Amino acid sequence: MKKLLATIVMALVLVAAAQAQDYRYEVGPALGMSGYLGDLNRSNLFKHPGVAGGGVFRYIMNSRFAVKGNLLYAGVSGNSDDCANKFPDGEHYEFSRSLFDVGGQVEFNFLHFGMGPRYKKYKRISPYMTLGLGMVMSTGGGQTNVSFSIPMGFGVKYKLKERLNLGFEFTMRKEFGDKIDGLSDLYGLKHNFAKNTDWYSIAMFTVTYEFSKRCTKCHYVE
């Protein structure tokens, strides 16, 4: 009888483990809205909102940490009519740029994100914070510029199914330059990393699918 009970318990454990299988990677599309802060817009991020979209890829380290790569497009624009300070002789200036962003970020989930046995204390929803490094190419108005950027922000993930996730993320991206808007060192103020540089923001929804099962052999270390 004891052997039978032990066999049943072991079978249930194996079934539960199979149902709670972890995966290494996830990939999916992103779609949302972009904004700009710079010489022509000092305060209202989405004064002239643009369309943002692309794809994301994650390596899932564990239920708390993930490393994400992204390839994104974002449209930004601005208008001198929005400036408190006017251009000389009342000159009008406006711009429209296409940004192509590639980069990587580390994500920290505030809760153990996932689905599985109750004792693992997984949560189907978790807020997270993200920080990384990227490169952005801006094109438009006959100009093309490439610079580094620092994306930083927060988001929330929700597990629709075992391998299907829905997410929302907002990031501010500080550019290591001052030419997204086509203007540099406006009013004679020299720019540096901390001052008089351009920012852009991306608020996006993602749908990602997990794949590549982790090995479940005993005593296996990746």
Residue 221 included in any domain: no
Residue 220 included in any domain: no
- Number of domains, the chain: 1
At residue 37 the predicted structure's pLDDT band, cuts being 50, 70 and 90, is confident
Q: Alpha-carbon distance 169 to 131, whole Å? A: 12
**Burial of residue 34, with CB atoms counted within 10 A of its CB: 0-12 exposed, 13-18 middle, 19 or more buried:** buried
Question: What is 70-85 written as a DSSP string?
Answer: EEEEEEEEEEGGG-SS
Largest CA distance in the chain: 95
Per-residue model confidence as pLDDT tens digits over 75-111: 999 887 766 666 656 677 788 999 999 999 999 999 9
Residue 97 included in any domain: yes
Per-residue model confidence as pLDDT tens digits over 166-186: 999 999 999 887 778 877 655
Task: Judge contact between 141 and 176, C-beta under 8 A.
Answer: no
Question: What CATH number corresponds to the domain at position 112?
Answer: 2.40.160.20
Residue 216 has pLDDT above 80, yes or no: no
Residue 107 included in any domain: yes
Instruction: Please state the φ and ψ torsions of residue 3, each to the nearest 5 degrees.
Output: -65, -40
pTM: 0.81
Give me the residues paired with residue 202 across strands: 34, 171
Average pLDDT over the chain reads 83
Which domain, by its residues, includes 111? Answer: 2-211
Residue 217 included in any domain: no
Secondary structure of residue 52 in the 3-state scheme: strand
Residue 197 included in any domain: yes
Residue 101 included in any domain: yes
Q: Alpha-carbon distance 7 to 49, whole Å? A: 61
Q: Would you report the helix, strand and coil content of the chain in percent, each value rounded to 5?
A: 15, 55, 30
Task: Judge contact between 55 and 35, C-beta under 8 A.
Answer: no
Name the least confident of 1-10, 27-36, 119-128, 188-197.
1-10
Q: Alpha-carbon distance 208 to 60, whole Å? A: 12
**For residue 19, what are the contacts with CB-CB under 8 A and spacing of at least 6?**
116, 162
Residue 134 has pLDDT above 80, yes or no: yes
Question: What is 114-174 written as a DSSP string?
Answer: S---GGGT-BSEEEEEEEEEEEEEEEETTEEEEEEEEEEEEEEEEESSSSEEEEEEEEEEE
Residue 137 confidence (pLDDT): 95
For the residues 44-63, what does the mean pLDDT come to?
Answer: 93
At residue 188 the predicted structure's pLDDT band, cuts being 50, 70 and 90, is low
Residue 222 included in any domain: no
